[in-house]
Amino acid sequence: MRLDKFLKISGIIKRRSVAQKIAELGGITKEGRPLKPSYDVKVGNILVIKQHSSIMKIRVTEIPTNNVGGNYFELIEFKHE
């Protein structure tokens, strides 16, 4: 599943267009490398999401099979600056 769609369905980011913009600006990384909105998310991926003044580190635990929101990630770390 595309990164931008995963972030929207999982509820991490409210709008897919916002997820796309954050990714395009380098605000979503995996192993220190910025990801594109079209990145194919896989179970076990550890993603770092920088949004406003917070940094969220998550582990993908499940890939949604439809457009129904749910708990598809595990929060590893959250920092609010």
Largest CA distance in the chain: 34
- Here the CATH number for the domain that contains residue 34 is 3.10.290.10
C-alpha torsion sign, points 67, 70, 74, 78: positive
Mean pLDDT in consecutive groups of 10 residues from the start of the chain, 81 residues: 96 95 97 97 97 94 90 95 79
Work out the burial of residue 6: count CB atoms within 10 Å of its CB; fewer than 13 is exposed, 13-18 middle, 19 or more buried.
buried
Q: 27-36: per-residue pLDDT in tens?
A: 999 999 999 9
Q: Of the candidates 48, 44, 38, 43, which has an alpha carbon nearest to the alpha carbon of residue 2?
A: 38
Q: How many domains does the chain have?
A: 1
Q: Residue 69 has what pLDDT?
A: 85
**Full domain range(s) for residue 52:** 3-80
